[in-house]
Chains A and B, each alone.
Chain A
Amino acid sequence: DTAVSQTPKYLVTQMGNDKSIKCEQNLGHDTMYWYKQDSKKFLKIMFSYNNKELIINETVPNRFSPKSPDKAHLNLHINSLELGDSAVYFCASSQEGGQGAYNSPLHFGNGTRLTVT
């Protein structure tokens, strides 16, 4: 029944490893996002996909690669993990895509806490 679900909830790994976080939404929304929340609680957008097409790609290291197999899924793959990647990563979705997304409320998952040691 969860609208936006992320897995795993916790992820502990060592530097240099590659890991993936999965996200699925059952709301029928057109647009999905990845946000990063650091220890100071700032939420920063990383990527946004609209109907499987990348529409936002903030200044994020190319070690981070989003993949959207279909409209309901947006996964985040991270290569060569670094200590600074430790954060909580949130997936979100909204009803409308592209420029129409601005007044569509975001629906967030409960986050994936990534710890890199």
Chain B
Amino acid sequence: LAKTTQPISMDSYEGQEVNITCSHNNIATNDYITWYQQFPSQGPRFIIQGYKTKVTNEVASLFIPADRKSSTLSLPRVSLSDTAVYYCLVVGDSSYKLIFGSGTRLLVRP
């Protein structure tokens, strides 16, 4: 099962771009990379998912290099409300157990 490694925490300021990198060295061919956001006292919320290269939606962008051993979640111009824990998951047909790692706690300061 592909395991992920993320920074435990990150600090940023309002208006800045934040990039959170996740390592997944033993990702399998059929695995997808998925990111979730969790606010205090709430369940995780799906942000974005990708397989390779770049995916963009109204919330974030996901960059995946050719070897797919890592991925970067990019949050453009963060605001205070982006303060949350961000989880990177690698999911595939052999790991549909959807294993969450420890996540990255992002603190956005005024």
Contacts and interface: CB of A to CB of B under 8 A. Distances in A.
Do the two chains belong together in a single complex?
A: yes
B110 interface: no
B53 interface: no
Most chain B CB within a 10 A radius of its CB, from A90, A98, A102, A111: A102
Does more than half of chain B's interface fall in helix, strand or loop, or is it mixed?
A: loop
Contacts of B85: 41
Interface string B1-43: 0000000000000000000000000000011101010000111
Nearest to B91: A102
Contacts of B43: 4, 90, 92, 108-111
B-side interface size class: 20 to 34
Interface stretch (B58-66, B75-83, B93-101): B93-101
Contacts of B32: 102-103
A110 B42 contact: yes
Interface string B86-108: 01000111011111111100000
A26 B98 CA distance: 21
A52 interface: no
A111 B96 contact: no
Nearest to B103: A41
Interface of B: 30-32, 34, 36, 41-46, 49, 85, 87, 91-93, 95-103
Interface of A: 4, 33, 35, 40-45, 48, 56, 58, 90, 92, 98-99, 101-103, 105-111
